[in-house]
Amino acid sequence: MNTTPDIYACAGKPSWIYSDIVKDHFFKPRNLLIDEEHYEADGIGIVGSPACGDMMVVWIRIDDTTQQISECKWRTFGCASAIASTSMMSVMATENGGMTLKHAKRLTPEAILERLGGLPEKKYHCSVLGHQALREAILDYENKQ
C-alpha cells in the first residue's frame, strides 16, 4: 500500500495535505455515535457552534470503581481535521483500560496533534475543540456526582 499522498493531483495544487493517520481517522472514525437517543452516558460535553463551523458532542461512560473512562463516544459536525481529531481523542481517552479522569482533564491539543502526525496550522483549533468537549463531558459527570 502506498502511504505517500498524491498531493499534486489537480492542476498542480495540493489535493490532500494530511497525514495517513488523519486520513484513516477521517475515513474510518472510531467510537462514532450515530444514535444518541438510546445511549446512556455518564457525562456529555458540547463545544463549538453550528453557526460558525465545527461543533462537537462527546458522551462518556465512567467506571465508578477506577474512575477511568470506559467509553468515549462522539459526533462532530465539521471538516476532516475536526472528525479525525475527535476520533483520535476518543481512542486516546479509552485505550489501555481508559484514562483516569484526572489524566483525561490534562489531555492537550498538542498530544492529539502528535498522535495524528500533525495538522495544517490553520486546523489547530480542531484538536482544541476535541479536548474541550472531553473536559466538558468530565465536568458534566462530576457535577452529577
Residues noted as catalytic = 52, 126
Unique residue bearing C-alpha cell 475543540: 129
**Residue 79 neighbours by CB under 8 Å, 6+ apart:** 53, 54, 123, 126
Bridge-based pairing of strands 68-77 and 55-63 is antiparallel
- In terms of C-beta density within 10 A (0-12 exposed, 13-18 middle, 19 or more buried), how is residue 80 classed? middle
Distance between CA atoms of 93 and 72, rounded to whole angstroms?
7
What is the C-alpha separation between 89 and 58, in angstroms, rounded? 10
What is the CA 60 to chain-centroid distance, rounded? 12
